[in-house]
């Protein structure tokens, strides 16, 4: 740390979500000398972060329980006392949600910044002395200007400001859900954008407790903000690219896994993020690309906007394509048929369902009159109810007896329960347990001729074939 960089003893993080919780837990773990307080307006969420039973934390993330268990009550605290936590902090992270706007100017594309603005105003009102404010949320490029404007209105000359001053940094988070703890403990890089060298070095000094110096990148504010949107856009673009090739493989008899292996061995392309599937989900890829699209349009770059828009469109198409394909293979109708959906989370090792491909696919199948039996090891029935926008059937018997032709759904406690009596099973999340399923036993419980639609290409093809099931596997032109 340079001599001019202030030493950070207290951190407050506004937002106890999928980013705020795990990120602060790892900082507290690696920096026992810093007191870290995570605040949120959501009392239920804070209570869950304080649950004595660590399996009840609001975010399911492998390894998180151990980290929280080590630090909570020592130098990691979760509270709804937003104002006093800000007042006592040397550094405040803004880690609030930034979803796509649903109405007004830019609806459907622009980020809704109301929570960022509200939290910046809270910091402006409550901070004392010099406070470094760090944008941890993913934000449109130049949001720091807004944050600075709000903070500077409270600083210096304003009466009652008690000489409060601020520095603003951008420090986007690159963790992926399901691997958050590993990503935070061994990041490819940490990015810090800012103007004041002392503030940049103060934050760099925190990360230096566990991140090698050459992985801590320093840049200016706008490049930092835009790098985050760009990283997500590039990652999502790879998925749409491979999914487009998957469809082409199915049409031509090629196998997308072979194609991915061949192109991934080119060191310029690389092997990661080339798994074809039911399309990307998660809270950020779509939101961040749409935000990029909006910003490009705002700056008159309409061709650039259209280019990135097509990544989202291909993704939506892939999800509808899979639902259509299930209907077509089941003799053109799923009305009244039991279809097991295996996996509801947007990826394995998380309980997060935001923008999960399962939602769109389930809705399409419900529209076609299917009776869905959904199993996910981590997603609650309440979450599925909210995502599907309708109540589950009262029971399997009631579901089966319903001859109205209306689609219905039910949450199941196991794969075996879900596939019982089903015409098809559809794997939508790559949970480990779906890789070695006893297809012989499961197939015996299904109504024949039965299908397995493996949208994640995780099932053992031999076992499925031997069980007598018909198989469609994403991107495999030989199967189905």
Q: Which residue has the tokens 């076992």?
A: 463
- Adjacent-strand bridge partners of 13: 38, 93
CB 207 within 8 A of CB 136: no
Work out whether 273 is an interface residue with ligand UGA (CB under 6 A): yes
Task: Tell me the closest approach of the beta carbon of residue 120 to ligand UGA, in angstroms.
Answer: 20
Give Cβ neighbours of residue 262 (< 8 Å, ≥ 6 apart): none
Closest CB to ligand NAD among residues 96, 245: 96
Q: Are strands 338-342 and 451-454 parallel, antiparallel or unpaired?
A: unpaired
Could you say which of 29, 173, 225, 364 contacts ligand UGA (CB under 6 A)?
A: 173
CB 388 within 8 A of CB 365: no
Indicate if 126 belongs to the active site: no
Which range binds ligand UGA by CB under 6 A, 154-162, 276-284, 325-333, 420-428? 276-284
Closest CB to ligand NAD among residues 68, 366: 68
Indicate if 136 belongs to the active site: no
Work out whether 245 is an interface residue with ligand NAD (CB under 6 A): no
Structure tokens at 57: 């934390």
Comparing every residue's Cβ against ligand NAD, the nearest one is 17
Give Cβ neighbours of residue 158 (< 8 Å, ≥ 6 apart): none
Footprint of ligand NAD on 105-164 (CB under 6 A): 115, 118-119, 122, 137-138
Q: Are strands 424-427 and 451-454 parallel, antiparallel or unpaired?
A: parallel
For residue 290, give Cα distances in angstroms to 116, 117, 146: 18, 20, 20
Of these partners, ligand UGA, ligand NAD, none, which one is at the site of residue 275 (CB under 5 to 8 Å by kind)? ligand UGA
The per-type count for the chain, helices as H runs and strands as E runs, is 18, 14
Of these partners, ligand NAD, ligand UGA, none, which one is at the site of residue 337 (CB under 5 to 8 Å by kind)? none
Establish how many alpha carbons lie within 13 A of residue 382's alpha carbon, considering only the half-sphere containing its beta carbon. 0
Indicate if 284 belongs to the active site: yes
Work out whether 17 is an interface residue with ligand NAD (CB under 6 A): yes
Question: How many chain residues bind ligand NAD (CB under 6 A)?
Answer: 28
Residue 267 burial (10 A CB sphere; 0-12, 13-18, 19+): exposed
- Adjacent-strand bridge partners of 473: 454
Contact track, ligand UGA, 297-336, x by CB under 6 A? ----------------------------------------
Structure tokens at 457: 């290409």
Could you say which of 5, 12, 14, 365 contacts ligand NAD (CB under 6 A)?
A: 14
Which positions lie near ligand UGA, rule CB under 6 A?
138, 173-177, 232, 235, 239, 273-275, 277, 280-285, 346-347
Which positions lie near ligand NAD, rule CB under 6 A?
14-20, 39-42, 45, 82, 95-98, 115, 118-119, 122, 137-138, 173, 175, 177, 283-284
Catalytic residues: 173, 228, 284
């Amino acid at each position: 740390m340079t001599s001019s960089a202030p030493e950070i003893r207290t951190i407050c993080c506004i937002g106890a979500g999928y980013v705020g919780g795990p990120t602060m837990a790892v900082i507290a773990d690696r920096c026992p000398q810093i007191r870290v307080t995570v605040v949120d307006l959501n009392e239920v969420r804070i209570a869950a972060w304080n649950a004595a039973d660590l399996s009840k934390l609001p975010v399911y993330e492998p390894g998180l329980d151990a980290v929280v268990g080590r630090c909570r009550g020592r130098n990691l605290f979760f509270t709804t006392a937003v104002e006093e936590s800000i007042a006592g902090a040397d550094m405040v992270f803004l880690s609030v949600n930034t979803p796509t706007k649903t109405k007004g100017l830019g609806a459907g594309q622009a980020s809704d910044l109301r929570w960022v603005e509200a939290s910046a105003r809270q910091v402006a009102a409550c901070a004392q002395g010099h406070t470094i404010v760090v944008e941890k949320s993913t934000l449109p490029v130049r949001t720091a200007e807004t944050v600075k404007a709000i903070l500077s209105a409270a600083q210096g000359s304003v009466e009652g400001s008690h000489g409060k001053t601020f520095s603003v940094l951008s420090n986007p988070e690159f963790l992926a859900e399901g691997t958050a703890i590993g990503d935070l403990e061994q990041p490819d890089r940490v990015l810090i954008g800012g103007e004041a060298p002392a503030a940049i070095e103060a934050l760099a000094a925190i990360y230096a407790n566990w991140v090698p110096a050459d992985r801590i990148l320093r840049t200016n504010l706008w490049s930092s903000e835009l790098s985050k949107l760009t990283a997500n856009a590039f990652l999502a673009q790879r998925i749409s690219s491979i999914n487009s090739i998957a469809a082409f493989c199915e049409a031509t008899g090629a196998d997308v896994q072979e194609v991915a292996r061949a192109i991934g061995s080119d060191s310029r392309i690389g092997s990661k993020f080339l798994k074809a599937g039911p399309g990307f989900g998660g809270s950020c890829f779509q939101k961040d690309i749409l935000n990029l699209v909006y910003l490009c349009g705002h700056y008159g770059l309409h061709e650039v906007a259209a280019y990135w828009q097509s990544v989202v469109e291909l993704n939506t198409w892939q999800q509808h394509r899979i639902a259509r394909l299930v209907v077509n293979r089941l003799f053109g109708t799923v009305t009244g048929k039991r279809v097991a959906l295996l996996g509801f989370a947007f990826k394995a090792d998380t309980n997060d369902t935001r923008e999960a491909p399962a939602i769109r696919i389930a809705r399409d199948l419900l529209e076609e009159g299917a009776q869905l039996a959904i199993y996910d090891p981590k997603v609650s029935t309440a979450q599925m109810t909210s995502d599907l926008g309708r109540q589950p059937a009262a029971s399997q018997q009631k579901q089966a007896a319903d001859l109205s032709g209306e689609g219905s759904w039910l949450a199941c406690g196991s794969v075996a329960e879900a596939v019982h009596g089903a015409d098809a099973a559809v794997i939508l999340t790559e949970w480990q347990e779906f890789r070695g399923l006893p297809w012989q036993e499961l197939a015996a419980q299904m109504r024949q001729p039965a299908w397995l639609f493996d949208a994640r290409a995780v099932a053992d093809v031999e076992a499925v074939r031997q069980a007598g099931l018909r198989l469609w596997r994403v991107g495999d032109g030989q199967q189905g």
